[in-house]
Amino acid sequence: MMAQHGGDSEIEGLIARMTLAEKVGQLTMLSGDLVKTGPVTTTVTAEAITSGRIGSLLNVWGPERVREIQRLAVEESRLKIPLFFSLDVLHGLNTVFPVPFGEGCAFDPELWEKTARVAAEECAREGIDLTFAPMIDVARDPRWGRIVEGPGEDALVAARVALAKLRGFQGANLTDAGSIAATVKHLAAYGAVRAGREYTSVDISERLLHEVYLPPFRAAVEAGIAAIMPAFIDLNGTPMTANARVLNDIVRRQWGFSGVMVSDYGAVAELIVHGVARDLTEAAALALNAGVDIDMMGNGAYGDGLPQALERGLVTIETIDASVRRVLTLKAKLGLFADPYRRCGPARAAAETRKARRALAREAACRSVVLLTNRDGALPLRAGADRIAVIGPLADGKGDAPQAQDKRAIVVRDGLHAALPKATLAFAQGCLVERGNRAALTEARALARDSDTVVLCLGETMGMSGEASSRTHPGLTEAQCALARAVLAQGKPVIVLLFSGRPLVLPDWLVAKAGAILAVWFPGDAAGEAIGDVLSGHVNPGGRLTMSWPVDVGQIPVFFAERPTGRPPLPEEHYSSKYLDMPNEPRFAFGHGLSYSRFTLDGLRLDRAAIGAGDTVEIAVDVTNHGPCAGEEMVFLFVRDLISSITRPALELKDFGKIALAAGARGTLRFRLGTDDLRFLGPDLRPMLEAGAFDILVGQSARAEGLLQARFDLVVAAGKVA
Ligand code: GLC
């Protein structure tokens, strides 16, 4: 008889009745075949389910398919324990939103939550109980392909993304209709892989781990995240999948995480390849003892390895039971004991709902667009009957298989046609994403020559970003550069759209000669409409970069939260921190993004010049929209701790906010900083507060020249370090 509601006593009763094989089964997750997210080494069989050797599945969804498999577990297995079904849903399921790296540029936690909620509701009708999202890996190296999944270079932004997505996915209660379990990943510092190369080792200081990479995960744990996924990488020599110090000591014991830890795909068995385990038995023991509850596609690591490990005394039955208990508790919280088919509802949403979701996708795509340059008001495009050439291999928004180009909707052309109905639009591919084509180039050159304006669609295909997609030169391919030169040579205004999953290294001549450049990322289902909205001026772009864009690969890593050196860069001083052949500054700073309006900040003021422990300081700054159109201005609040026991970053992001203003209007943005915001990790890596002077810096990005500055003192009772 299956436990009805999975209460604690029922779970204990279940555990007491489970055989070792059934316990290990609950700790085993296998992949279905609807989508491939890693090497397929083990297949799912009905017998494996009815014998209780599988506890959860990934990459299987669809109400009928899930119902069919779940029925095997809850009707034909001995203990009738329900499975849970999981999938990577990083930017929507049936409604596709901008990729996370693009959506992050909206700097809008409310929007981030809304899109996650829609994704959760769609998952909860497709049989999906848990998603492996949000990915909250801070990253500062554009060569790494997984930037596309993440929040950019700053830990505060990563934490805000984590909390917003957790609220959206998990709702108020995991048993609510439309709620699914969220998983923050990949713990920790995966974004710091050496040289940006996928899966390589990570060597960072303990300070950087605790100041930058752990805080977003801690925020998610404190907010009640259901699951955590350790990263593939070894952190300072210890593979995260076997890292008991981080997983158990810090995350479970110090932070109090009681949820489930699910390994990454095959990561338990890969401990052998890392060289820390001789065989699956040792690998299983290391992972389980480190706190990893579920072995995802581990090639039998837990299934075969744990019984051996128990026999050899490498693990205890209590440790196994503790993991089983956490998995069964998650299933109970998901309501699966009460109703194993609760998320197998009719997948088709009502027409009204689909319409609202499409509108949200369009809003999210518009808000993710970042206007990088706009010379001489090249944008917005006039509404006249201009001849607009849409050129480039990314005009379909994806740049997938070239032969599909002619069949696939040319979303940029179609979106512009909807936004500018009087314009005459024509399309030429010009080249393939990674290969030139003489005839196509000739056709594109001629079309540019015969047009009034060119919209040039360049960048990466979706396949050039993401997992296992690091690039040594994260820029435009030679074929695309040749196309851009040919188009620019026609002397017409050229608007460049960059589709990408990361910051791109751009040639100086393109930045200098393009009329305007926009980062549009991979905008999702509403790509065409959103691009049409922004280029036509129906929407005033407000996106801001969550990651610095280097001038050249040689600058990597370049990010705003660098610590000052003893010899800061001084142009006239030879002996100062700079390159001989390149500026220190990125081409575009964190927070960069233009508007069709001109905004200015002034009147930075604090409500007090000093604060003591437990106090807050109110910060206000005035924002003016000089026009010509209404728009939103994003303002970033940084602090600089001028004197402290440890060198502190020159800029620490403490908050961000936006204000919507009509043309000609003026408004005030207010922030509050408390002493808790001024704590830092002292020499012993313990949080401390230190009296002294701080600068508050407020600006439209992290670019030093644009920051307003005000000083205040933190006064801590003599000798008292709070
Ligand atoms: C992949 C990814 C991870 C994903 C998992 C399941 O290898 O590293 O982010 O959640 O496998 O698809």
| pLDDT at residue number 408 | 61
Q: For 182-202, what is each residue's pLDDT tens digit?
A: 999 999 999 999 999 999 999
What is the whole-number distance in angstroms between the Cα of residue 37 and the centre of ligand 1?
Answer: 6
- According to the model, what pLDDT value does residue 722 have? 41
Residue of 108, 141, 154, 264 marked catalytic: 264
- DSSP string covering 314-362, please? SS-HHHHHHHHHHHHHHHHHTTTTT-TTTT-S--PPPHHHHHHHHHHHH
- State the distance from the centre of ligand 1 to the C-alpha of 229, rounded, in angstroms: 9
Q: For ligand 1, is residue 132 a contact (CB within 6 Å)?
A: yes
CA distance 118 to 98: 13
Residue 101 has pLDDT above 50, yes or no: yes
Residue among 217, 204, 99, 110 at smallest CA distance from 147 = 99
Find, among 134, 144, 155, 246, the residue nearest to 191 by Cα. 144
Which of 30, 147, 265 maximizes ligand 1 atoms within 8 Å of its Cβ, making it the mutation to test the pocket? 265
With 80 as the cut, is the pLDDT of residue 211 above it? Answer: yes
Whether residue 396 lies in the annotated active site: no
Scanning 514-645, the segments in alpha helix (DSSP H) are 527-536
User: What average pLDDT score do residues 19-42 get?
Assistant: 88
Phi, psi of 233 (to 5 degrees): -75, 165
Of 396, 379, 353, 389, residue with least CA distance to 533: 379
What mean pLDDT, rounded, does the chain reach? 95
| Extended beta strands in 265-314, E state | 295-296
pLDDT band at 400 (very low <50, low <70, confident <90, very high): low
Cβ(235)–Cβ(266) below 8 Å? no
Residue 38 vs residue 296, higher pLDDT: 296
Dist. CA 458–CA 572, nearest whole Å: 38
Decide if 274 contacts 306 (C-beta within 8 A). Answer: no
Q: What is the mean pLDDT of residues 346-364?
A: 90
**Identity (one letter) of the amino acid at 668?**
T
The tokens for 270 are 């890969």
For the chain, what percent of residues have pLDDT higher than 70?
97
Rounded to 5°, angle at Cα 201 from 199 and 206: 130
> In which band, very low, low, confident or very high, does the pLDDT at 298 lie, cut at 50, 70 and 90?
confident
Query: Which of the residue ranges 34-38, 118-122, 151-155, 454-458 would you say has the lowest mean pLDDT?
Result: 34-38
Task: Dump pLDDT digits (tens) for 603-652.
Answer: 999 999 999 988 999 999 999 999 999 999 999 999 999 999 999 999 99
Whole-angstrom Cα Rg for the chain = 27
Length of the chain: 722
* Structural tokens at position 212: 């930058």
Ligand 1 pocket test: pick from 88, 199, 297 the residue with the most ligand atoms within 8 Å of its Cβ.
88
Buried (b) or exposed (e) across 286-310, using 16+ Cβ within 10 A? bbbbbbbbbbbbbbbbbbbbbbbbb
CA terminus-to-terminus distance, the chain: 55
Q: Which helix (H) or strand (E) holds 228?
A: strand 227-230
Mean pLDDT of 522-539: 97
563 is written with which tokens?
């610590």
Ligand 1 contacts CB of residue 265 (under 6 A): yes
Sign for the CA dihedral angle at 535, 536, 537, 538 comes to negative
Q: Is the CB of 270 under 6 A from ligand 1?
A: no
Nearest CA to ligand 1 atom 8: 264
Sign of CA pseudo-dihedral 331, 335, 341, 346: negative
- CA of residue 335 to ligand 1 center, whole Å: 25
CA neighbor of 413 nearest in space, from 425, 423, 403: 425
198 lines ligand 1 (CB under 6 A): no
Regarding the beta carbon of 457 and ligand 1, being less than 6 Å apart is answered: no
* CA atoms of 263 and 290, how far apart (whole Å): 11
Is 146 close to ligand 1, i.e. is its CB under 6 Å away? no
Query: Tokens in use for 666?
Result: 């003026």
Residue 50: helix, strand or coil by DSSP?
helix
Helix axes 155-170, 109-123, angle to 10 degrees: 40
**Mutational test site, ligand 1, from 31, 36, 132, max ligand atoms within 8 Å of CB:** 132
Yes or no: say if 266 and 246 are a contact pair by the CB < 8 Å rule: no
Please choose, from the candidates 82, 111, 102, 503, the residue with its C-alpha nearest in 3D space to the C-alpha of residue 330.
82
Assess whether the C-beta atom of 88 lies below 6 angstroms from ligand 1.
yes
How much is the average pLDDT of 318-325? 98
% the chain with pLDDT above 90: 90
In a 3-state reduction of DSSP, which class is residue 655? strand
Q: Does 149 have pLDDT greater than 80?
A: yes
655 in Cβ contact with 706 (< 8 Å) = no
Atom of ligand 1 nearest to the CA of 149: 9
Atom 10 in ligand 1: which residue has the minimum CA distance?
A: 132
Peptide bond between residue 393 and the one before it cis (omega within 30 degrees of 0)? no
Residue reference for tokens 């977003």: 216
**Mean pLDDT to the nearest integer, 61-75:** 96
Q: What is the pLDDT of residue 43?
A: 75
How many helices and strands in the chain, by DSSP H and E?
20, 26
The Cα 517–Cα 506 span in angstroms is: 10
d(CA 631, CA 370) in angstroms, rounded, equals 14
Q: What pLDDT was estimated at residue 396?
A: 83
DSSP bridge pairs for 516? 374, 495
Q: So what's the pLDDT on residue 346? A: 80
CB 536 within 8 Å of CB 415: no
Report the greatest alpha carbon distance in the chain: 80
For residue 342, give the amino acid letter.
R
Taking the centre of ligand 1 as the mean of its atom positions, its distance from the CA of residue 75, in whole angstroms, is: 30
Q: Which pLDDT does position 717 carry in this prediction?
A: 61
Residue 163 Cα, ligand 1 centroid: separation in angstroms? 20
CA distances from 667 to 608, 620, 624 (A): 21, 10, 6
Q: What pLDDT is stored for residue 721 in this prediction?
A: 43
Q: In what side-by-side order are the strands of the sheet with 181-187?
A: 260-261, 227-230, 181-187, 130-131, 84-87, 56-58, 28-31, 295-296
99: its two tokens: 């990729």
pLDDT of 69-88, one tens digit each? 999 999 999 999 999 999 99
Indicate the pLDDT class of residue 35, thresholds 50, 70 and 90.
Answer: confident
In the structure encoding, which two tokens stand for residue 252, read together?
């479970």
Q: Are strands 599-606 and 130-131 parallel, antiparallel or unpaired?
A: unpaired
Atom number in ligand 1 closest to CA 38: 7
Q: How far lies 617's CA from each of 321, 607, 672, 677, in Å? A: 49, 6, 6, 11
The model's pLDDT over 654-709, given as tens digits with 9 standing for 90+, comes to 999 999 999 999 999 999 999 999 999 999 999 999 999 999 999 999 999 989 99
36-46 core/surface letters (b: 16 or more CB in 10 A; e: else): ebbeeebebee
* H or E element at residue 170: helix 155-170
Spatial distance between the Cα atoms of 287 and 306, rounded to a whole number of angstroms = 10
According to the model, what pLDDT value does residue 720 have?
A: 45
The mean per-residue pLDDT over the stretch 55-68 comes to 96
Task: State how far the Cα of 541 lies from the Cα of 535, in Å rounded to an integer.
Answer: 9
pTM of the shown model: 0.96
| Cα–Cα distance, 403 to 17 (Å, whole number) | 58
Q: Quick one: pLDDT at residue 1? A: 45
Give, for 635, the enclosing helix (H) or strand (E).
Answer: strand 631-641
Which run of H or E residues covers position 513? helix 508-513
**CA neighbours closer than 13 Å in the CB half-sphere of residue 612:** 4
- Half-sphere exposure (Cβ direction) of 570: Cα atoms closer than 13 Å: 9
d(CA 512, CA 532): 24
> Which position has the token pair 């830890």?
261
The residue written with tokens 């990253």 in the block is 139
Count of CB atoms situated within 10 Å of the CB of 438: 8
Name the residue of 31, 199, 264 whose CB sits within 8 Å of the most ligand 1 atoms, as the mutation to test its pocket. 264
pLDDT on residue 347: 72
- The model's confidence at residue 406, banded by pLDDT at 50, 70 and 90, is low
